[in-house]
Amino acid sequence: MTEYFQDYITVGAFIGLGAVLVLAMLGVASLLRPSNPTKAKYLTYECGVDPVGDGWAQSHVRYYIFGLLFVIFDVEAVFIFPWAIKLEELGMFGLVEMVVFIAILTVGLVYAIRKGVLKWE
């Protein structure tokens, strides 16, 4: 067997060992834990308040859009910080690429503003 495939066998062995350890720990935990199912334990717990109603509530799509915009600009920050550190090594090419990246995100932000997504009513 070549050294190339021997590396895959090592990785496979570690994955198998990890799976066996996880299953063994779950098995030991199921044997050692107490089991006292009661009706109160199956109730939904929310901040110490007894649940009222069926628990179905719709959320406005605005919350998801704000979350998506946050993720977009958070990812932008993740890319800008390392770029700022290596700016001198990247030279003009790196500067142009970052300007294009920020311009694309700015177009998305302008689109969101024009659609009225950021107006909280």
Digitized pLDDT (tens) for each residue of the chain, 121 residues in all = 677 788 889 899 999 999 999 999 999 999 999 888 888 777 766 666 666 667 677 777 778 888 888 888 888 888 888 888 888 898 899 899 989 988 988 898 888 889 887 777 7
Distance CA 118, CA 69 (A): 10
64 contact partners, CB below 8 Å, separation of at least 6: none
Query: Quick one: pLDDT at residue 55?
Result: 67
The CA-CA-CA angle for residues 66, 70, 75, to 5°, reads 150
Query: Quick one: pLDDT at residue 1?
Result: 63
Determine how many CB atoms are found less than 10 A away from the CB of residue 76: 15
Place of tokens 């503003």: 113
Query: Quick one: pLDDT at residue 47?
Result: 67
Query: Quick one: pLDDT at residue 15?
Result: 97
Topology (CATH) of 3-115? Methane Monooxygenase Hydroxylase; Chain G, domain 1 (1.20.58)
